[in-house]
A = this chain, B = another copy of it.
Amino acid sequence: MPGDAASSDGPRPVSGKGAATRAVILETALASFRDRGYDRTTMRQVAEAAGVSLGNAYYYFGSKEELVQEFYAAIQVGHRHRAADALRSRDLVDRLRGVLHAGIDEMAPYHSFAGSFIKVAISPASASSPFSPESAVARQAAIGLFREVLAGSDARPGGPLARDLPELLWLAYLGITLFWVHDTSPDQARTRRLVDTAAPLVGRLVTLSRLPVLRAAAADVHTLLTALRPRDAHR
């Protein structure tokens, strides 16, 4: 029974039959995001397509925005899985290029969805914004992946850049994603070329960051990052 284990506002139970139902609803919602687009996906239609009652769907997901967070989580898990090969190299540029391409691979089925979705996610105060408090878990996981890109490489960034780089790479990845959303070239080939250009540049800048003459610039970048960061990013 859906209500069995629900005693608080915390996460819903994810074992046994409940977990299976939840997974079916999520899979159905992701398929609908892909096939119908974001705007035309509703909780009612997801519930119907998943063969559960509307009340049952709402038991597992309080809103369409919660489905988006699950979408982010699913993309994140898929991204990390696809990135495994690239993370076997110790070369920073190889690792970064591989991880960026893996992200685009993972998002590829959602390209047509992205055009409508970005109008929501770009909105100030939207829960689906990558900068929102609601997206904190997905954001930290994504930054964590870029931390892994750096930590497992033989590159050693200097000065304040060492600390900021995972977050800067995540911001760059958001920029690449924004470019990808707009990319109408076949199979988003232009985004692939952008990644192939950006990764060596990052590698070069990381190497240069050890030069004393660049320390002050890295300190400025740190101040800039602090100015950019959502005020509630760490709450």
Contact = CB atoms under 8 A, between A and B. Distances in A.
A194 interface: yes
Nearest to A115: B124
B216 A204 contact: yes
Contact of A227 (B119, B129, B197, B223): B197
A140 to B, nearest CB: 20
Given A194-B228, A208-B213, A208-B214, A122 B119 contact: yes
Interface string A182-213: 10100000100110011011001100100101
A233 interface: no
Contacts of A221: 201
B181 A124 contact: yes
A227 B194 contact: yes
A227 B118 contact: no
A224 interface: yes
Nearest to A184: B124
Q: How many of chain A's residues touch chain B, expressed as a range?
A: 20 to 34
A175 to B, nearest CB: 8
- Most interface-central of A131, A208, A220 (chain B CB within 10 A): A220
Interface of A is mostly: helix
Number of copies: 2
A151 interface: no
A221 B122 CA distance: 26
Interface string A113-143: 0010011001111000101000000000000
A213 B217 CA distance: 15
A191 to B, nearest CB: 9
Given A213-B208, A216-B204, A182 B124 contact: yes
Contacts of A214: 208
A95 to B, nearest CB: 18
A197 B221 CA distance: 8
24 contacts: A115-B124, A118-B122, A119-B123, A122-B122, A124-B182, A124-B184, A131-B182, A190-B227, A193-B227, A194-B224, A194-B228, A197-B220, A197-B223, A197-B224, A198-B224, A200-B220, A201-B217, A201-B220, A204-B216, A204-B217, A205-B217, A208-B213, A208-B217, A211-B213
